[in-house]
């Protein structure tokens, strides 16, 4: 039989939206000892400050809760990364769960990105209140989203897979005003 | 445009605009509202009133207008009723119509209500239509609905787009009059994020109606332009015109409704029609100004009777002469200022009749009228108005030294303008739960203590006079910025203007307060409430102003007391000999003016109303005509009809396909939670009723979850993937709440456990392959797995590959057949589905939906939590007590289910039911009773929870919860139905293959 | 839409939170010795406080943590929020 093909939700590129490729995505949960140990295996410090992300090259660690981090890495790192984390963590209590397919990532970008997200996200996204490097779970309309500001006018956004069309369609609907 | 002045005003005389009103063509100017354009054409008759169908004209010039409600139509789907003509900006080709009249505005059959009005007093509906009771829904309610109401809503779907926006700022300023502009400018100087909104098309508030005021040495509107330009140039400031702050919600959350395209002749396709702004402000400045009060006298609603401020606005802002011969009825100094400006339009001011005692008439307006040599008549009152569709005269009364009123002349006039003084607009302050206190000097309520971080400025808190209002605004704006942590100081602003006095005395004309006039004197124009209605309510024992409001409907609906509120209070105070402050004020409610459903709905409509979650097989199912059902937000295929099959036929075929060969089912929506940590087993031990420590790696078990009250909450198969790792499945609908409940116990009750949970619902796509040929289908696609019964027995778990992708195979069955659930990372789900379908072709594999799944599991007596249980069944009631780990010290629900009442012998227990007639399928929810043909009342001892026609068994089957059901085996009970009782026999819930022979192969 | 101070994430909008009922209702952990009355109290009986009330919230669309708050039920204003396991004493605030 032929190989199964990986099929991601279609996100048409617009000046404000950009699909991101599939990536290695791990949910890391554990106490401070475990986060510190994981950082050694991951090569990126897992932030201890709330709602902050650390990115080194293509790898990033995002604080999601006091015992939870989202680890992102290129798809090709997957196997090696699992080994490195297991070695670094040893017997330190923790949980690592592969959520590479659970979420879909894309960028909301451009000078109107903040405004566009404001059509459905009730957070204050002003640079002063939500600076570059800040990340959090929050909501966009009726969907939960993961939001990470990677530059003044670039947000890395993730949704659970089945919510992606809803969020993307809502953003495209709201962005109609930006066409002119 | 016979009533247009030759110069002046803020309309663009070079841009003429054609529009129609009630089918007649008129010409207006750019900058006109529908009201100002109609007045410019001499049209005063605009509508008919709500209850009595009395002819009505234009009372005001803005959002306070209670009378001039119109319908504006762009096309059949864009017909907007109940717009105030005073707020509608005309555009080329606009089609507007009057409302509440038939067959025409001039001759309206419904006006018979005016003659019948002695029979339509306050509380009329409550009194008349209560008997006979049965008539209410059939006769009264529909007839009243048809006769009442104002405009007619369109029946077509709204084709426009409505946007929503969250926005945050340090200072929100509501109202762009002098105080609001000064507040915004002062706050903006601090570097604060500022939002300034105003409901009007043009900003400037009261300054738009001024002729000669100056600010900082500039003509007032030049200062406005300069200030706005500077605000707009500031990237931290957002200036929103045509934007109404309609609601003040907790924690400084303010709702704004912006109208983007209502004023445009052609609307750009990419622009939303309206935008709902949800503002979160650190500080709010309310600079909402005030509204002039009508005077209350007989005939005060006849077209041509108008507020003095409105008449002045039409003169100064729109260049419209509201009448040729105008009588002025003054209850405040502002009326004199209006009289002077009206006479400047070329109209004749026939008289200024002042209702106040002679000694109290004074002020800058009065002085200006005197020097303009206008005829002033003190100690006067109005006894009536002549004219029907338009004012023809004002019947004056003269107040003697003894206070007695004698009839005076009737002054011929085509227009009467009136001023009872100004009411500060405290609506938003009141909505924010701020307190109000009565100011005797002004004759109005003013904002007192605040609850939210808000402050009022300018006339909305009683500060009158241009310079004072400006500086009050500037001070408030600077203080608001400072309270938000920014620093600025307000530079003093200089201004000059006439500054007429705004004080008045609320209520009916003082001289009339005791003698309620025999003719209708309107208090609330929009709801047709007269002085008599308010007096009647009091005679009938309504004392509280809240009760009077509801009984008479004064100040209700869209008016929200804008023009009527204080006058109604004044009448109640006078007739009950109370001070107005004692009577108190009714609560102002949101919205300040009506907000469209479109604005509230935003983009959440149609397909986008709610997230639609689709499974990997969705598109495949769509292509094959699959019929879907909603399960939470998921779309699940209910059945896959072939050709002309209906649901029964399709389900029949699908069930037999599974039982006789093999079927496939998309089980991806099941909730999945990965439980990881050295205490994972111990956590599940405490959480689920079952014992988990004994479960081996790569084995699975059916788990039951209860709440601490001992009732079944959720269920699902749980797999042990490693010593410290479990894969927990939940019901589709229960995924989120089970996850939340797990977090609750981990975080708050069992902090001693080293365990974490992660939702993997969307990480995995799941295809269930069920039926005697399931193993053969799998054998064609799975590699690296021994699928034999010995290597992979029932409830066993194996890891293999399909198409090069690692999969987890769970040998589980929700059908009673040999079955597997294949878990694959979600993005391979679509290909997996198609691969299984292709591999199953030689066995005629049958894709089946949720309906067949329900039948198949019911044949085996497998419960569905939420269908066969309802939150009041213990595991024992549901027949799954075998799952309970009896030796465990504790688990969630252990103590709860030990309560005596939960162990009683006559508890409702799940049993099977078989009808005597195998063709009869019971209705789910039908009641079970002991005896046929019993007398009423009788005991209902249970109800049917699941009922289907089983194709496999060739007969109907059902499950039911029945009191003491398991002790009633083989007894005959009855299911009560409207068509007669249906006899049923109590049987086991397992209808098919009770030995499980088909499972263990 | 209230603003709620998550003890971990700071001030956040209400749509991110789920209400969790009265705070400090301890689960009886020894079924063998839990009396009917203790069970009744735990399962069903809750205060209906007019004024300052200790209650639970979960930052479900944020960090996921349960926490406690003291809120005035007459005004919807929060006095404070605090983590599970903490219990600040405040004059006038009941158990």
C92 touches chain B (CB under 8 A): no
- When CB atoms are compared, the residue of A51, A68, A144 closest to C61 is A144
Assigned superfamily of A17-179: Probable tRNA modification gtpase trme; domain 1 (3.30.1360.120)
- Phi-psi domain of B30 (left: phi exceeds 0; alpha: psi -120 through 50; beta: other): beta
| CATH number reported for the structural domain that contains residue B357 in this entry | 3.50.50.60
Residue C2 to residue B250, Cβ atoms within 8 A: yes
Q: Do A174 and B603 touch (CB under 8 A)?
A: yes
Whether B610 is in a domain gets the answer no
C interface test, pick of A51, A53, A160 with most C CB neighbours within 10 Å: A51
Cα angle vertex B92, ends B86, B96, to 5°?
45
Identify the CATH number of the domain defined by range C17-26+49-95: 3.30.2270.10
Question: Under an 8 A CB cutoff, do C75 and B751 touch?
Answer: no
State how far residue B264 is from chain A, nearest Cα, in angstroms. Answer: 16
- Residues B129, B135, B136: CA angle, nearest 5 degrees: 55
> What average pLDDT does range A119-144 have in this prediction?
98
Rg (CA), chain B: 38
Residue A136 touches chain C, beta carbons under 8 Å: yes
Mark whether B523 and B599 lie in a shared domain: yes
Query: B514 and B400 in one domain?
Result: no
Is residue B689 within 8 A of residue B893, CB to CB? The reply is: yes
* CB contacts < 8 A (A, C): 40
Measured distance CA(B698)–CA(B918) in Å, rounded: 43
Could you tell me if B385 and B519 lie in one domain? no
Please tell me the predicted confidence (pLDDT) of residue B418: 97
Do the chains contact at A138 and C62, CB–CB below 8 Å? yes
Contact call for residues B190 and B478 (beta carbons, < 8 A): yes
Closest in C28, C32, C84 to B747, CB measured:
C84
Question: What's the per-residue H, E or C state across B831-900?
Answer: HHHHHHHHHCHHHCCEECCHHHHHHHHHHCCCCCCCCCCCCCCCCCCCCCHHHCCCCCCCCCCCCHHHCH
The 3-class SS string of B442-487 reads CCEEEECCCCCCEEECHHHHCCCCHHHHHHHHHHHHHHHHHHCCCC
CB contacts of A102 in chain B (<8 Å) are 759-763, 826
What is the pLDDT, as a whole number, of residue B586? 81
Same domain for B276 and B411, yes or no, is no
Kindly list the residues from chain B whose CB atom is less than 8 angstroms away from the CB atom of residue C45: none
Interface list for C 9-38 with A (CB within 8 A): 9-10, 12-13, 15-16
Q: How many CA atoms lie within 13 A of A82 on its CB side?
A: 14
Query: Are B204 and B219 contacting, i.e. CB atoms less than 8 angstroms apart?
Result: no
B143 touches chain C (CB under 8 A): no
Give chain C positions within 8 Å (CB) of A64.
Answer: 63-64
Question: What confidence score (pLDDT) does residue B153 get?
Answer: 86
In this structure, are B593 and B638 located in the same domain?
A: no
Residue B135 domain flag: yes
Q: Are A93 and B672 in contact (CB under 8 A)?
A: no
* Domain total of chain B: 7
Residue B656 makes CB contacts below 8 A (sequence gap 6+) with B951, B952
Selected residue of C11, C38, C46, C66 to mutate for chain B interface (largest B Cβ count, 10 A): C66
Domain spans in chain A, listed from the N-terminal domain onward: 17-179
Contact C13 A50 (CB under 8 A): no
pLDDT of residue B755: 98
Tell me whether C86 touches chain A (CB under 8 Å): no
B876 lies in a domain? no
Beta-carbon neighbour count of residue C44 at 10 Å? 8
**Domain match, B303 and B285 both:** no
3-state secondary structure of B28: strand
Are residues B164 and A2, on separate chains, in Cβ contact within 8 Å? Answer: no
Mean pLDDT lowest among A16-25, A60-69, B193-202, B349-358? B349-358
Say what the pLDDT of residue B131 is.
Answer: 60
Residues B279 and B339 in one domain: no
Cβ contact (<8 Å) for A126 and B758?
A: no
Smallest CA–CA distance, residue A90 to chain B, in Å, is 13
Contact B902, B872 (CB under 8 A): no
| Backbone Cα Rg of chain C | 14
Whether the bond into B937 is cis, omega within 30 of 0:
yes
**How crowded is the C-beta side of B183, counted as CA atoms within 13 Å?**
36
- Which residues does chain B have with pLDDT short of 50? 513-516
Chains with at least 3 CB pairs less than 8 angstroms from chain A: B, C
Report chain A residues whose CB lies below 8 A from the CB of C10: 50-51
The whole-angstrom distance between residue A150's C-alpha and the CA centroid of its chain comes to: 10
* Cα B932–chain centre separation: 49
Distance CA B36, CA B61 (A): 8
B857, B878, B893 — which closes off a domain?
B857
Please answer yes or no on whether C62 and A136 come within 8 Å at the CB atom: yes
- Contact list in C for residue A137 (CB cut-off 8 A) is 16, 61-64
Q: How far is A6 from chain B (nearest CA, A)?
A: 5
> How high is the pLDDT of residue A180?
46
Predicted pLDDT at B132: 62
Q: Give me the CATH number covering residue B12.
A: 3.10.20.440
Q: Does C66 touch chain A (CB under 8 A)?
A: no
- Check whether residue B946 and residue B956 sit in a common domain: yes
pLDDT of residue B118: 67
Cα dihedral across residues B667, B672, B678, B680: positive or negative? negative
- Tell me which chain A residues have a C-beta less than 8 angstroms from the C-beta of C8: 50, 65-66
Residues B24 and B100 placed together within one structural domain of the fold: yes
Report helix angle B178-189 to B220-232, nearest 10: 40
Note whether B15 and B138 are same-domain residues: yes
pLDDT value, residue B147: 55
Q: How many CA atoms lie within 13 A of B927 on its CB side?
A: 12
Tell me the residues of chain B between 749 and 778 that have a Cβ less than 8 Å away from chain C: 749, 751
The reply to whether B883 falls in a domain is no
CB atoms within 10 A of CB B503: 20
Which residue of C27, C46, C60, C71 is the best one to mutate when testing the B interface, meaning the one whose CB has the most B CBs within 10 A?
Answer: C27
- Which of C12, C13, C64 has the CB atom closest to A68's CB atom? C64
User: How is B323-374 classified by DSSP, letter by letter?
Assistant: -SEEEEEESSTHHHHHHHHHHTTT-EEEEEEE-S-GGG--SHHHHHHHHTT-
Q: Which residues pair with B406 in a beta bridge?
A: B398
For the sheet with A17-19, list strands across it: A17-19, A103-109, A154-160, A143-151, A135-140
Cβ atoms within 10 Å, residue B350: 22
Report residue C21: phi and psi, to 5°: 75, -170
Please report whether residue B890 resides in a domain.
no
| pLDDT for residue A64 | 98
Tell me if chain B has a CB within 8 Å of the CB of A4: yes
**Domain around B521:** 505-603
């Amino acid at each position: 039989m032929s190989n199964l093909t990986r099929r991601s939700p279609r996100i048409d590129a617009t000046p404000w939206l950009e699909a991101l490729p599939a990536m290695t995505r791990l949910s890391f949960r554990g106490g401070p000892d475990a986060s510190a140990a994981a950082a050694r295996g991951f090569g990126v410090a897992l932030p201890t400050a709330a709602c902050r992300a650390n990115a080194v090259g293509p790898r990033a660690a995002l604080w999601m809760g006091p015992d939870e981090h989202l680890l992102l890495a290129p798809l090709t790192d997957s196997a090696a990364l699992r080994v490195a984390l297991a070695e670094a963590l040893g017997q330190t209590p923790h949980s690592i769960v592969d959520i590479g397919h659970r979420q879909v990532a894309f960028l909301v970008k451009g000078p109107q990105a903040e405004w566009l997200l404001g059509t459905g996200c009730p957070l204050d996204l002003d640079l002063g209140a939500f600076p570059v490097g800040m990340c959090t779970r929050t909501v966009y309309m009726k969907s939960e989203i993961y939001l990470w500001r990677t530059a003044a006018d670039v947000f890395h956004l993730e949704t659970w897979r089945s919510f992606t069309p809803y969020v993307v369609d809502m953003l495209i609907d709201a962005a109609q005003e930006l066409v002119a | 445009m016979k009533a247009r002045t030759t110069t002046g005003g803020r309309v663009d005389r070079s841009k003429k605009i054609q529009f129609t009103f009630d089918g007649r063509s008129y010409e207006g100017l750019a900058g006109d509202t529908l009201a100002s354009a109609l007045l410019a054409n001499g049209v005063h008759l605009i509508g008919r009133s709500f209850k009595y169908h009395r002819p009505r004209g234009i009372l005001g010039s803005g959002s306070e207008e209670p009378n001039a409600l119109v319908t504006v139509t762009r096309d059949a789907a864009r017909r907007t009723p109940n717009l105030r003509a005073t707020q509608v900006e005309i555009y080329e080709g606009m089609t507007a119509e009057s409302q509440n009249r038939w067959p025409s505005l001039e001759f309206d059959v419904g006006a018979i209500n005016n003659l019948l009005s002695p029979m339509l007093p306050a509380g009329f509906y409550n009194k008349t239509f209560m008997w006979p009771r049965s008539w209410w829904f059939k006769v009264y309610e529909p007839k009243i609905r048809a006769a009442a109401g104002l405009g007619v809503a369109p029946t077509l779907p709204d084709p426009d787009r409505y946007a929503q926006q969250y926005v945050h700022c340090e200072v929100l300023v509501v109202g762009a009059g002098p105080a609001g502009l000064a507040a915004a400018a002062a706050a903006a100087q601090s570097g604060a994020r500022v939002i300034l909104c105003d409901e009007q098309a043009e900003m400037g508030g009261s300054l738009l109606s001024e002729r000669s005021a100056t600010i900082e040495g500039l003509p007032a509107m030049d200062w406005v332009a300069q200030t706005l330009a500077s605000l707009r140039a500031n990237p931290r400031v957002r200036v929103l015109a045509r934007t109404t702050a309609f609601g003040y919600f907790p924690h400084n959350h303010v709702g704004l409704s912006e109208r983007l395209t209502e004023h445009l002749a052609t609307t750009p396709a990419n622009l939303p029609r309206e935008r709902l702004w949800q503002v979160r402000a650190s500080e709010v400045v309310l600079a909402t100004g005030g509204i002039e009060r009508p005077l209350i006298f007989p005939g005060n609603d006849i077209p041509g009777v108008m507020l003095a401020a409105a008449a002045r606005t039409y003169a100064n802002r729109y260049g419209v002469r509201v009448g040729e011969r105008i009588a002025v009825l003054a209850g405040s100094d502002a009326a004199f200022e209006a009289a002077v400006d009206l006479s400047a339009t070329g109209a004749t001011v026939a008289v200024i009749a002042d209702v106040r005692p002679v000694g109290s008439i004074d002020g800058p307006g009065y002085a200006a009228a005197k020097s303009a040599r206008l005829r002033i008549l003190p100690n006067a009152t109005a006894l009536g108005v002549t004219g029907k569709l338009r004012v023809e005269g004002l019947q004056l009364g003269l107040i003697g030294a003894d206070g007695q009123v004698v009839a005076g002349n009737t002054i011929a006039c085509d227009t009467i303008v009136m001023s009872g003084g100004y009411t500060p607009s405290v609506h938003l302050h009141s909505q924010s739960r701020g307190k109000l206190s009565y100011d005797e000097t002004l004759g109005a309520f003013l904002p007192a203590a605040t609850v939210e971080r808000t402050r009022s400025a300018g006339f909305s808190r009683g500060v009158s006079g241009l310079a004072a209002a400006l500086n009050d605004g500037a001070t408030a704006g600077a203080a608001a910025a400072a309270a938000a942590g920014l620093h600025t100081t307000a530079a003093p602003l200089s201004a000059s203007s006439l500054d007429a006095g705004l004080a008045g005395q609320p209520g009916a004309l003082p001289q009339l307060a005791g003698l309620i006039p025999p003719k209708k004197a309107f208090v609330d124009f929009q709801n047709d409430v007269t002085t008599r209605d308010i007096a009647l309510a009091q005679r009938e024992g309504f004392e509280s102003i809240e009760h009077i409001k509801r009984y008479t409907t004064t100040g209700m609906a869209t008016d929200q007391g804008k023009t009527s509120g204080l006058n109604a209070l004044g009448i109640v105070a006078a007739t009950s000999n109370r001070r107005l402050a004692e009577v108190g004020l009714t609560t102002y409610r949101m919205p300040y003016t009506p907000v469209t459903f479109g604005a509230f709905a935003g983009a959440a409509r149609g397909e986008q109303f709610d997230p639609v979650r689709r499974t990997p097989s969705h598109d495949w199912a769509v292509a094959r005509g699959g019929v879907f059902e909603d399960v939470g937000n998921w779309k699940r295929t209910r059945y896959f009809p072939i050709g002309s099959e209906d649901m029964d036929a399709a389900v029949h075929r699908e069930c037999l396909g599974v039982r006789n060969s093999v079927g496939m089912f998309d089980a991806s929506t099941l909730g999945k939670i990965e439980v990881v940590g050295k205490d994972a087993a111990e956590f599940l031990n405490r959480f689920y009723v079952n014992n988990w420590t004994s479960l081996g790696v790569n084995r699975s078990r059916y788990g039951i979850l209860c709440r601490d009250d001992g009732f079944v909450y959720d269920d699902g198969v749980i797999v042990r993937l490693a010593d410290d790792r479990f894969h927990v499945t939940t019901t589709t609908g229960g995924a989120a709440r089970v996850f939340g409940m797990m977090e609750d116990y981990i975080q708050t009750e069992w902090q001693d456990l080293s365990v974490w949970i992660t939702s993997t619902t969307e990480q995995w796509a799941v295809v269930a392959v069920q039926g005697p040929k399931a193993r053969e289908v799998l054998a064609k696609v799975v590699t690296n797995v021994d699928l034999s019964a010995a290597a992979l027995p029932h409830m066993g778990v194996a890891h293999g590959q399909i198409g090069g992708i690692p999969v987890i195979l769970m040998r589980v069955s929700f059908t009673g057949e040999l079955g597997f659930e294949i878990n694959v990372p979600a993005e391979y789900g679509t290909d997996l589905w198609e691969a299984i379908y292709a591999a199953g072709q030689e066995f005629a594999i049958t894709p089946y939906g949720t309906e067949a799944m329900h039948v198949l599991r019911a044949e085996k007596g497998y419960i569905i939590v939420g269908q066969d249980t309802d939150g009041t069944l213990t595991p024992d009631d549901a027949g799954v007590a075998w799952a309970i780990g009896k030796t465990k010290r504790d688990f969630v629900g252990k103590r709860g289910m030990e309560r005596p009442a939960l162990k009683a012998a006559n508890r409702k227990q799940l049993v099977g039911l078989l009808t005597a007639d195998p063709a009869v399928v019971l209705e789910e929810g039908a009641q079970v009773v002991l005896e046929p043909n019993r007398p009423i009342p009788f005991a209902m001892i249970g109800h049917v929870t699941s009922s289907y026609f089983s194709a496999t068994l060739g007969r109907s089957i059902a499950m039911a919860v029945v009191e003491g059901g398991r002790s009633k085996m083989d007894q005959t009970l009855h299911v009560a139905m409207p068509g007669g009782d249906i006899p049923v026999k109590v049987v086991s819930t397992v209808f098919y293959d009770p030995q499980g022979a088909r499972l263990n192969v | 839409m209230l603003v709620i101070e998550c003890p971990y994430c700071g001030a956040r909008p209400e749509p991110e939170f789920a209400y969790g009922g009265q705070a400090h209702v301890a689960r009886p952990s020894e079924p063998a010795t839990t009396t009917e009355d203790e069970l009744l109290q735990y399962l069903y009986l809750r205060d209906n406080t007019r004024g300052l009330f200790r209650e639970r919230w979960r930052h479900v669309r944020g960090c996921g943590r349960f926490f406690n708050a003291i809120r005035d039920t007459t005004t919807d204003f929060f006095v404070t929020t605090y983590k599970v396991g903490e219990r600040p004493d405040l004059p006038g605030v009941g158990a």
